[in-house]
A = this chain, B = another copy of it.
Amino acid sequence: MSKSHLERRIHKLRDELLDAQFDLRKSKAGGVILIVAGVPAAGRTETIRELLQWLDQKYISVRAFELPDRHERRRPPMWRYWQCLPARGRITVLFNGWYSDFFSAASAATKAHLRKRSVARIERLERMLCADHVAVVKVYLHVDSKLQRKRLKRLQADKLTRWRVTSEDRLMAKCHRAVDRAATVCMKATSHKAAPWLLVDGTTEERRVLAVGNALLNGFRRVQEQSREGETYPWPEPSPGDGAPLPSRPTRTLSDEEYEKELREQQARFALATRRSRFRKRALVLAFEGMDAAGKGGAIHRLTHALDVRQFQVIPVSAPSPEELAYPYLWRFWKHVPEHGAVTVFDRSWYGRVLVERVRAFTPEVDWRRAYAEINEFELELAEHGIIVQKFWLSVSKQEQLDRFKKRDENPLKRFKVDPEDWKNHRFYDAYQLAAREMIERTHSPHAPWVVVEADDKQYARVTVLKAVCDRIERELG
């Protein structure tokens, strides 16, 4: 390819990229993530800088991740990446992205990166992003050992660029062959249809940027096409639970006296459990689901009453805001994942997707169907980080729900709780029951179990919730 031919192609690409970015910004069809990895001196920085010049950089964020700091280590490994996902219409460029562990000099030696679970975690994330209209473009820049040494020498000779050569770079250059071999294995393991790796020759600047730019352009196009055609990659249907019977407990009525006594006892138990030194390396996530007036708020109150007010957060979940809609579905829940030692209580949760959004048809079936698998993955990642996850379905009968609505309308201290929308949801009672049953079957797991609480008697329900939480924590802390 002659020089002038290259230049013409670059000019054309620039034009197309700018168009594509503009279209994406207008259509807000989705976002794009560009992950740039590669060997030192292959031109990662230069390529990104060039692309920033071509595009409207106001809608691009560039992030690099080093080893997790104290703050980040107190949250699950993928947490920090969720914080920087692009909103619809935006681009995020990541140095190495979630592959930081994979492409370091250390990993080339230890092969720690090959742990099956880290590969699966990444693939899950990328498929989820893809289904949620975020294109993931992954490029790996490569140069041979000779050219790499030459470039590093030149960078070090100039005081303007010396800072760019780190000790990690020097180490990686030294074991160039091992790094190459490790990278090949990694790319093979983490290439899949939704987000394949592209190996780019970093020898000449124009060809390199042309290749990366074209990959990015494809990413833009994928997002647009997908949003038009609604095509998503096939998503695995999760198995309907482990078949074990749900731990639903028979209902009974407590006298006021029994209630007061049990409540005090369980609250003390809960307070002690969350004060144990072992809990400081764990955390607690509680999700409360149930129809309107099932008594979620009351049960949560009785729980949090036992805690240090500085230790917990109650997150009310309702219809997503426009800002939240601009991100993949689970983004707004990842934001509130507690750090070690803390408790987060969700008053309604990520299960809204397969409950209200399903029943009221706010979300297309293909999207809420894949939510089961996404949710299972989310909860697994929490559990793997030592977070104790416990979910409650507060089950209230149709008649009792109606009675409570009526009572609420009359009680001045509770009138704020009734909404016209609630009455509407009451009409969907049976559809909710069906959705709840399927939800519980598909997302009940040993590390994030559902507890179904018969909630027609409020006092009984509250004590049962507290007991279940205490049982779980005590078992987990040993």
CA distance A383 to B62 in the complex (A): 26
A62 nearest in chain B by CB position: B309
A22 at the interface (CB under 8 A from B): yes
Residue from B45, B62, B95, B321 in contact with A322 in the complex, judged by beta carbons closer than 8 Å: B321
A160 at the interface (CB under 8 A from B): yes
Is A310 a contact partner of B18 (Cβ separation < 8 A)? no
Q: A56-B416, A59-B316 are in contact. Are A163 and B305 (CB under 8 A)?
A: no
Residue from B52, B95, B297, B309 in contact with A48 in the complex, judged by beta carbons closer than 8 Å: B309
A314 at the interface (CB under 8 A from B): yes
Beta-carbon contacts under 8 Å, A40-73 to B = 45, 48-49, 52-53, 56-59, 61-64, 69-71
Is B18 a contact partner of A413 (Cβ separation < 8 A)? yes
Instruction: Tell me the smallest distance from the CB of A161 to a CB of chain B, in Å.
Output: 9
A159 at the interface (CB under 8 A from B): yes
Is B69 a contact partner of A272 (Cβ separation < 8 A)? no
Instruction: Tell me the smallest distance from the CB of A410 to a CB of chain B, in Å.
Output: 14
Instruction: Tell me the smallest distance from the CB of A443 to a CB of chain B, in Å.
Output: 24
Is A53 a contact partner of B18 (Cβ separation < 8 A)? no
A323 nearest in chain B by CB position: B323
Using Cβ atoms and an 8 Å threshold, which residues of chain B touch A25?
A: 416
Is A413 a contact partner of B15 (Cβ separation < 8 A)? yes
**What does the 1/0 interface line of A225-244 toward B look like (CB < 8 Å)?**
00000000000000000000
Using Cβ atoms and an 8 Å threshold, which residues of chain B touch A275?
A: 163
Using Cβ atoms and an 8 Å threshold, which residues of chain B touch A56?
A: 297, 416
A25 nearest in chain B by CB position: B416
Instruction: Tell me the smallest distance from the CB of A89 to a CB of chain B, in Å.
Output: 12
A48 nearest in chain B by CB position: B309
A313 at the interface (CB under 8 A from B): yes
A340 at the interface (CB under 8 A from B): no
**What does the 1/0 interface line of A192-207 toward B look like (CB < 8 Å)?**
0000000000000000
A271 nearest in chain B by CB position: B160
Q: A57-B314, A272-B159 are in contact. Are A164 and B308 (CB under 8 A)?
A: yes
Is A61 a contact partner of B313 (Cβ separation < 8 A)? yes
Residue from B53, B160, B271 in contact with A268 in the complex, judged by beta carbons closer than 8 Å: B160
Using Cβ atoms and an 8 Å threshold, which residues of chain B touch A58?
A: 297, 314, 316, 347
CA distance A392 to B63 in the complex (A): 26
Is B305 a contact partner of A53 (Cβ separation < 8 A)? yes
A142 at the interface (CB under 8 A from B): no
A304 at the interface (CB under 8 A from B): yes
A364 at the interface (CB under 8 A from B): no
**What does the 1/0 interface line of A291-308 toward B look like (CB < 8 Å)?**
000000100110011001
Instruction: Tell me the smallest distance from the CB of A333 to a CB of chain B, in Å.
Output: 16
Instruction: Tell me the smallest distance from the CB of A428 to a CB of chain B, in Å.
Output: 23
Is B272 a contact partner of A45 (Cβ separation < 8 A)? no
**What does the 1/0 interface line of A16-40 toward B look like (CB < 8 Å)?**
0010011001000000000000000
Using Cβ atoms and an 8 Å threshold, which residues of chain B touch A62?
A: 309-310, 313
Is B18 a contact partner of A309 (Cβ separation < 8 A)? no
Beta-carbon contacts under 8 Å, A142-178 to B = 159-160, 163-164
CA distance A347 to B90 in the complex (A): 16
A75 at the interface (CB under 8 A from B): no
Q: A58-B316, A59-B316, A323-B323 are in contact. Are A305 and B49 (CB under 8 A)?
A: yes
Instruction: Tell me the smallest distance from the CB of A213 to a CB of chain B, in Å.
Output: 14
A21 nearest in chain B by CB position: B416
Is B71 a contact partner of A14 (Cβ separation < 8 A)? no
Using Cβ atoms and an 8 Å threshold, which residues of chain B touch A95?
A: 310
A478 at the interface (CB under 8 A from B): no
Residue from B59, B69, B272 in contact with A71 in the complex, judged by beta carbons closer than 8 Å: B69
Smallest CB-CB A-B distances: 9 pairs? A58-B316, A64-B310, A22-B416, A62-B309, A323-B323, A48-B309, A163-B275, A71-B71, A57-B314
Interface residues of A (CB under 8 A from B): 14-15, 18, 21-22, 25, 45, 48-49, 52-53, 56-59, 61-64, 69-71, 93, 95, 159-160, 163-164, 268, 271-272, 275, 297, 300-301, 304-305, 308-310, 313-314, 316, 321-323, 347, 412-413, 416
Could you jot down 25 A-B contacts, CB within 8 Å? A15-B413, A18-B413, A25-B416, A45-B308, A45-B309, A49-B305, A52-B309, A53-B301, A56-B297, A57-B304, A58-B297, A58-B314, A58-B316, A58-B347, A62-B310, A64-B310, A69-B70, A69-B71, A71-B71, A93-B309, A95-B310, A159-B272, A160-B272, A163-B275, A322-B322
